[in-house]
Structure 1
């Protein structure tokens, strides 16, 4: 038992459950993009800027950033700067020299790092103040648990985007 009376096995079970659900979401995205060429992975099939390679790139970048937030807090991102906006927009597409396989490799590397860090956390209650941004309440904080749930939700949301893009691209469905 821990000092607060919570069984360590319960904490470990929660941690492993969150990591398992996150990996299931990653697996769904990897399944959705299977067999694509780089040309197909760059193709936009909707009016949005999203392409399948960009979805993989974006969720890997987001996960890496949020896990760094768990450890270090807000890096002081200026969400109003043109550079920040441009970097965000570039995260939704494969740029010159980037490949789908390269993005999948990065996604796998980020996943391994996330799992290592989360397993090394003393608990999931450590909190950091959220960045100052229009979409976050002022002075709010998130625990490591809340960040993991956010990463899972982001992956799930973007998996839905990927399903639509892939089906419009070549009729392939992830589910159904």
Structure 2
């Protein structure tokens, strides 16, 4: 989140209120947390803006981006594959075929790692969903009991109707 700027759209919905007031006073804890993680870097765009207001919005966004660049002293590209590709384009003095094979091997390994991470994320997602359902059910035990009883009654009626002759 060190390099993230949150861009809000539909700023016109705020009416006379300011985006700063909205962000500070929102009940959305996730949004406040996100803004904090991003170093309070955010900007808002009025989708209905025209002319000068559009330019002002763009200038504000560019000011936030330039501030971010100064803060990180231009070190945005920290990805090793990007660095290797830049070195490969510039030529490091080795044999071109060997460098390309080495780079491709790194890229393939990186892609495989991302695939594995994605699989793990998906499996964690299912686990989190099931845990959320379980937590909800335990915190709403009365409603859960009522729903289960209704389902049992419904199933018993369906079974009873199907068992009787003529079904």
What TM-score results when the alignment is normalised by the length of structure 1?
0.22
Greater Rg by CA: 2
Richer in helix (by share):
2
What TM-score results when the alignment is normalised by the length of structure 2?
0.22
